[in-house]
A and B are shown apart, each in its own frame.
Chain A
Amino acid sequence: KAGVTQTPRYLIKTRGQQVTLSCSPISGHRSVSWYQQTPGQGLQFLFEYFSETQRNKGNFPGRFSGRQFSNSRSEMNVSTLELGDSALYLCASSLVKGNEQFFGPGTRLTVL
């Protein structure tokens, strides 16, 4: 069974631009969560989706948004990029809430 996939793997943007990251969960998994990893803040929870509904959101500004499609694939969007948004963005999927979570390879975003 294929693992969690994320695209693109690397991305370079400039301040003020917007970006969309994509995550395809393991087949059959319905819960998708997003995390941001930076050297200063570590791994932080962004948001969580289940059945196309956002179930929880971390402490991030409204520039960070996401959605989940009927096939459980998820996208996250960051608008008006800032230098501090440079990070590794990780997506995780699980069968349902409460199960073991599996992570994708991540998207490394650099904002110049």
Chain B
Amino acid sequence: GIQVEQSPPDLILQEGANSTLRCNFSDSVNNLQWFHQNPWGQLINLFYIPSGTKQNGRLSATTVATERYSLLYISSSQTTDSGVYFCAGANYGGATNKLIFGTGTLLAVQP
């Protein structure tokens, strides 16, 4: 099955700094999503980005499907950005909606 690798596993930033989170896939995916898990455990959708680039405020994401990776950019980080970021992918060739998650990046933004 598909393996998803996220890096870095942990990241500490000062407020205002920029960061890049990476997600590598062992096989091609035709669904790729980025999530932020809030302190209560809910996964908040950041991007649905099988390919290309998208931006939403201070966050942007790029997926290069042919090279099997995706990047999440956080600019001008704020303390509220702290938490765990997950990427997840799915391959629908097998007629499944099953998402395979990475192990996450734990981000701590210090004031």
Contacts and interface: CB of A to CB of B under 8 A. Distances in A.
Nearest to B101: A43
Interface string B24-51: 0000001101010000111101001000
A33 B43 contact: no
Q: Please tell me the size bucket of the interface on A.
A: 20 to 34
B99 interface: yes
A97 B35 contact: no
Interface of B: 30-31, 33, 35, 40-43, 45, 48, 86, 88, 90, 92, 94-101, 103-104
User: Which 10 pairs of residues, A with B, have the shortest CB-CB distance?
Assistant: A100-B48, A43-B101, A103-B43, A56-B96, A105-B42, A106-B41, A45-B98, A97-B97, A88-B41, A48-B97
Interface of A: 31, 33, 35, 37, 42-45, 48, 50, 55-56, 58, 88, 90, 92, 94, 97-98, 100-106, 108
